[in-house]
Amino acid sequence: MGIELAEITNKQLNLHGRDFLSLVDYTPEEIYYLLDLAEYLKEQKKKGNVVEPLKGKTLGMIFEKSSTRTRVSFEAGVYQLGGTGIFLSSGDLQLGRGESISDTAKVLSGYLDGIMIRTFSQEGIEELAHHSTIPVINGLTDKYHPCQVLADLLTIKELKGKLKGKLKGMKMCYIGDGNNMAHSLMIGGALMGMEISIAAPEEYQPNKAITIKAEKLAKEHGGGIIVTDNVEMATDGADIIYTDVWASMGQEMEQEKRLSAFKDYQVNSTLLAMAKSDVIFMHCLPAHRGEEVSAEVIDGEHSVVFHQAENRLHAQKALMTALMGDK
């Protein structure tokens, strides 16, 4: 059964041609638009309806970091929307042999309708977007992971938002390394008017400039940001508990040091009991059971990690539809 693009939503919010480098570039209205669109596309897929707003479109997917969820969800998503995805490892591109980012951007803009890149440098992805004439999507950098947080907000909206209307006022506690996930959760949560608490050892707390930016956004939208080394204070009354691995890609040499620093920051049943009784547990995956989270929590009744992982597909389909679909 075919569905026309015009039937997807009644909203007249045009994001066509925009880049998606960080959630800070988007308004709450635009984020809710993407979440509503994701819910629509998810519903259509479950019903077996065909929605192909990207028919004839091609997404280039550049990977300088390995991936499971990002690659499969984008490649499957663009295919389900009627388009084609091309996997491009850094070793396959002249970019990996010294071609400038600007030249690569201009060349790919002539072939493709959009670029998704999973890489190290936020500055590099911003340069790529500056020289591209097609949308550039941040699949992950060392600074931000906006696609993951879009899927996370979708998950929270589905599981919690329907009880409270929208996301404003909900408390999310992130426990662990102040990394790209912490940064994007602070920004995304602030825009939604959520209360975001970050619990991490002082040495591993989020970037101060990003924290200040998130605090400003939270104040504008009725939320709040707390960064502390006190797990109990951060967790108290939380609707959502979130964690990530203690040593991300590229930090493997710090593994033992980090295991020692974070030993009191594991999400386990004792910690979960400090939150609300209906708390949900989230993790962007992959997880190291027995380190940042106990097996009883990630495999327990409060865990929504696989629901959350599936939502990467639906959130990214909405993103590609909005940015790459016809005006």
Binding site residue list for L-ornithine: 180, 244, 248-249
Report phi then psi at 60, rounded to 5.
-90, 130
Residues annotated within the binding site are 67-70, 94, 118, 145-148, 180, 244, 248-249, 284-285, 312
Residues annotated within the binding site for carbamoyl phosphate are 67-70, 94, 118, 145-148, 284-285, 312
Look up residue 299 and give its DSSP letter: T
CA 188, CA 107: separation in Å to the nearest integer? 32
Task: Pick the closest to residue 64 from 139, 176, 164, 170 (CA basis).
Answer: 139
188 with 146: CB under 8 angstroms? yes
Residue positions annotated with a catalytic role: 118, 145, 148, 244, 284, 312
Burial of 174: CB neighbours in 10 Å, binned 0-12, 13-18, 19+: buried
CA 298, CA 102: separation in Å to the nearest integer? 43
Report phi then psi at 294, rounded to 5.
-80, 155
Task: Pick the closest to residue 21 from 182, 184, 172 (CA basis).
Answer: 184
Task: Pick the closest to residue 231 from 292, 299, 306 (CA basis).
Answer: 292
Helices (H), the chain: 28-47, 69-80, 101-111, 122-131, 146-156, 162-164, 180-191, 208-221, 231-235, 255-261, 269-272, 295-298, 305-324
CA 9, CA 26: separation in Å to the nearest integer? 19
